[in-house]
Amino acid sequence: MDDRRLIIVEGIRRREEHRDPGTMRGLDHIEVTVLEGLSYEAASPREPDGRMRIGEPVERGGDGSGASPLSHFLTGVGSCLLNQFVRCSIAQDLPLRFLGASVRGEFRRESGGRFVRIECEIRADGSIDQDAADALMTRAERLCYVHQTLVSAVEMTTRFALGGRELVRHVDGPHP
């Protein structure tokens, strides 16, 4: 294992083993600045190198210089959940290599509209059995703040595909 990967693995394992509520972040802050028209730049004061460009395509009145707000929203859904899958896999020393995530959001395009369904597929290569995959998915979903926030308002489907084949699927959402 190269030095950089070793540092990442050790950091993740330390965080998993020693959860100190006093040092865990419970607040996030993003500043959004208008650049021109429907073009924006956003960044967290804590993460000044992580600037995001937000905009609208030309056909919706923007200049096409950044991903739309909805694209950023769905990116947050997928990357947060993928991050937890990777983190849990490393902490548990599972023989997996994560490839990415695909996110599909279905929403009502109307005044007062909202997302009604979000599907996220997590893709990996490796070898674990279905019970281990189900446990990994359950833990990753529980640790993902975005998933936990949305599941009370939107039907959320998570699929875990290993070697191109769906191994586990969870569907959850608002309960009347």
Please provide the distance, in angstroms rounded to a whole number, between the alpha carbons at the two ends of the chain. Answer: 49
Q: Residue 13 falls within a domain, yes or no?
A: no
Q: What is the pLDDT of residues 135-166, one digit of tens each?
A: 999 999 999 999 999 999 999 999 999 999 99
Reading the block at residue 122, the tokens are: 């997590």
Q: What is the pLDDT of residues 58-106, one digit of tens each?
A: 898 888 889 999 999 999 999 999 999 999 999 899 999 999 999 999 9
Between β-strands 31-36 and 96-107, what pairing exists: parallel, antiparallel or unpaired?
Answer: unpaired
For the residues of 101-115, what is the DSSP string, one character each?
EEEEEEE--STT--E
Cα–Cα distance measured from residue 173 to residue 155, given in angstroms and rounded to the nearest whole number: 4
- Are residue 48 and residue 74 in the same domain, yes or no? no
| Domain interval for residue 45 | 29-67
Residue 19 has pLDDT above 80, yes or no: no
Q: 159 and 121 in contact (C-beta within 8 Å)?
A: yes
The size of the chain, in residues, is 176
- Are residue 82 and residue 132 in the same domain, yes or no? yes
- Are residue 107 and residue 172 in the same domain, yes or no? yes
Q: Residue 4 falls within a domain, yes or no?
A: no
Strand partners, 120: 103, 158
Mean pLDDT taken over the chain: 89
- Are residue 80 and residue 162 in the same domain, yes or no? yes
- Are residue 95 and residue 121 in the same domain, yes or no? yes
Find all residues with CB under 8 Å of 169, minimum gap 6, and list them: 157, 158, 159, 160
Residue 126 has pLDDT above 90, yes or no: yes
Range with the poorest average pLDDT among 32-41, 43-52, 98-107, 131-140: 43-52
The amino acid present at 79, given as its one-letter code, is S
Q: Residue 2 falls within a domain, yes or no?
A: no
- Are residue 51 and residue 88 in the same domain, yes or no? no
pTM of the full structure:
0.84
- Are residue 76 and residue 163 in the same domain, yes or no? yes
Cα–Cα distance measured from residue 146 to residue 28, given in angstroms and rounded to the nearest whole number: 12
- Are residue 135 and residue 172 in the same domain, yes or no? yes
Q: Residue 163 falls within a domain, yes or no?
A: yes
Report the number of distinct structural domains present in the chain: 2
- Are residue 119 and residue 151 in the same domain, yes or no? yes
The amino acid present at 149, given as its one-letter code, is T
Provide the pLDDT for residue 106. 95
Selected residue with higher pLDDT from 41 and 45:
41
Q: Residue 21 falls within a domain, yes or no?
A: no
CATH number for the domain including 105?
3.30.300.20
- Are residue 77 and residue 104 in the same domain, yes or no? yes
In the block, residue with structure tokens 């703040």:
145
